[in-house]
Amino acid sequence: MSAQQNPDDTYRHEAKGSNNPGGNNDDRNKKEPGIHNDHPIFSKLSPKQFKYSIWYFLAILIALTFVNSYFTTDHTRQQQIEYNVFKNLVESGSIRRVEITDDAFIGYQMTRAEMQDAASVNQLGSSPSAVIAYTTYRIEDPAFIPLLDAQGIEYYAAAPYKPSIISTLLGWILPFAIMILLWQFVFAKMNKGSGQGVMSFNQNKAKIVAEGDTNIRFADVAGADESKLELEEVVDFLQNSTKYTDVGGKIPKGVLLVGPPGTGKTLLAKAVAGEAAVPFFRMSGADFVEMFVGVGAARVRDLFRQAREKAPCIIFIDEIDAIGKTRSGNVSGNDEREQTLNQLLVEMDGFDSKTGVIIIGATNRPEILDHALLRPGRFDRQVLVDKPDLEGRLSILKIHAKPVKVAASVDLRTVAQSTAGLSGADLANIVNEAALLAVRNRRKEVLQEDFEEAIEKSIAGLQRKGRIMNPAERERVAYHETGHALTAYFTKRADKVIKISIIPRGMSALGYTLQQPTEDRFLLSQSEILDTIDVLLGGRVAEQLIYDEISTGAGNDISRASDYVRRMITEYGMSDRFRNITLPTGQGTTMLGSGYGGQREFSEDTQMYIDTETSRIVNAEYEKVLALLTDKKPLLEHITRTLLEIETIDGAKFKQLIEEFEAGVTQEPVLV
């Protein structure tokens, strides 16, 4: 189909395909003699333009109501007066005819004969309202009838009004019919579309992706090779299930993807559906939760019912911890969530894996999931999707850099080395930020410096050159960052320094020092942890050495250093008193990390030891760094002056400055 296709051609093509399989539509395109079908009038009166609407029906009903009201209402112009005034008009002769009803007297200025004669000569005009009638409430007055006889007034009693069947229907049934139709119309509009309206609480909210529409394959997923191998069996079972059933093997009913946020759990689930070419039900754990009791369980039942109908298929429940949280120790009384979890457990037990329905769950908090959900027979297999290593980050960068015009000089391996500890989502964001920076700088391709700036923006925050610091603060920040860098350079096991800057970034960083690990590390020795603490204390020590006082700029540094020491004592058994003992807290250790805090599970004397030992270790490392920087004070001042002049020093320049200073071939910068 061409990009600019005539709508008329499209319509004729559809008619040809639907009504004439043979493709011959000459008879239908013949025009009737004398009738020009292509006239604009006929195009406007096309049947496609007329659609049934409930508003048409309501308009007809309202019109009938007005017509009925018009024909059943007396259109004479009536004036409500008091009874004594009515009698005076009778006595004066102004009223010539009186109509007596059950509750009123109605007086007219003309008799019936006079009204007929006047109408015949058109004296009343075309409007019935020209006839004036006086009306008053009926009073049982014995002298009223004799008064009418004495004055020669024409009077008569009117029969009680009996509405017709049509009037009754229009007056009573019609309003109810209109209300019912309006009610039905409103709810039909609210439930239109995906079926997730007000009256569809029990229906699941799964987004069904048709077969082959995911457009994601295993080749699009990088940095998770081991996880892909685990999931390839699921794909193979969905495609060749007899190969497993012939030998009596059973594919896992459920696969739980566990990993930190942004590592590609959802992407892996989509890749499984794309590779297997089966329908893919995607749903979040929060979609089951509602304010109405029983809704979550009903949605679980509806989801599995649809999955059985479309088997083989995949059910993907993202953030499953929203409904699968452990039930032990639950004091919140959330029975609705527990009912939803119970129904999910029953449904996972209630179908055979041979039906071809595979459940994939994803969570970054596996430690809080209910044990009944993780037992064999439900989520049989847990697949860890961890943060990628160096080669994994390089593969991820290559995938995301494919649609980006990257310069030939860009070294993605260097970028991968600078992004240790980042997830796949972080790497995708860095590539995108680098492309945006290239456009901002009016370049046609992305350079290495764009990637470096994107990494710094992701780690340290947005560069804030507009923040003006006074000279004294700027100098203090320069000494602080140089203290970090020099401590890292002269510490054996510290990571390599790749940049020092005194340009503010983020919300609170007035300067920063970036370090790049030479390789991915998964274990740290006690000496390496102490060296890391030394680097953190280097900035505070530099301020103490130059100004003989400290500032608030090292608040985050000493907080991280103290946390390292506490974890050494409480979690890693790196203390003299508790050498091989873990001191647990209420928070504990999880699969994906741990943190210090929570309610302690040890004595007050042990807590005092932890505080004392933490202070001793930090102070000992502080003195060690102070001795180092005191010995390197001239070098500290020299690099600080250079940093104040150029604001940013990269790793190569930093190393060159140190080597030249130690060789005695330095040239002092001239500060303006």
Those residues with Cβ within 8 angstroms of residue 36's Cβ, 6 or more apart along the chain or in another chain: 42
Residue 196 corresponds to which amino acid?
Q
Name beta bridge partners: 648: 501
Gap between the Cα atoms of 257 and 316, Å rounded: 10
What is the number of other CB atoms lying within 10 angstroms of the CB of residue 434?
26
With CA atoms as reference, report the closest residue to 511 among 672, 311, 647.
Answer: 647
Query: If DSSP states are collapsed to H, E and C, what string results for 316-352?
Result: EEECCHHHHECCCCCCCCCHHHHHHHHHHHHHHHCCC
Tokens encoding 544: 């103490």
Gap between the Cα atoms of 102 and 91, Å rounded: 23
Q: In what helix (H) or strand (E) does residue 147 lie, and over which residues does it extend?
A: helix 144-151
The string of DSSP codes covering 193-225 is: SSS-STT-TTS---EEEPTT-S---GGG--S-H
Catalytic residue among 347, 481, 543, 613: 481
User: Helices 633-646 and 604-631 meet at what angle, rounded to 10?
Assistant: 80
- Cβ contact 243:236 at 8 Å: yes
Q: Radius of gyration (Cα) for the chain, nearest Å?
A: 44
CA 200 to chain centre: 21
Gap between the Cα atoms of 290 and 285, Å rounded: 11
For this structure, is 519 an active site residue? no
End-to-end CA distance of the chain: 67
What b/e sequence results for 622-655 when a residue is b if at least 16 CB atoms lie within 10 Å of its CB, and e otherwise? bebbbebbeebeebbebbbbbbbeeeebebeebe
Q: Is 432 helix (H, G, I), strand (E, B) or coil?
A: helix
Tokens encoding 469: 């610091």
Which runs of consecutive H residues, i.e. helices, occur in 418-518? Answer: 424-440, 448-460, 471-489
Enzyme catalytic residues: 481
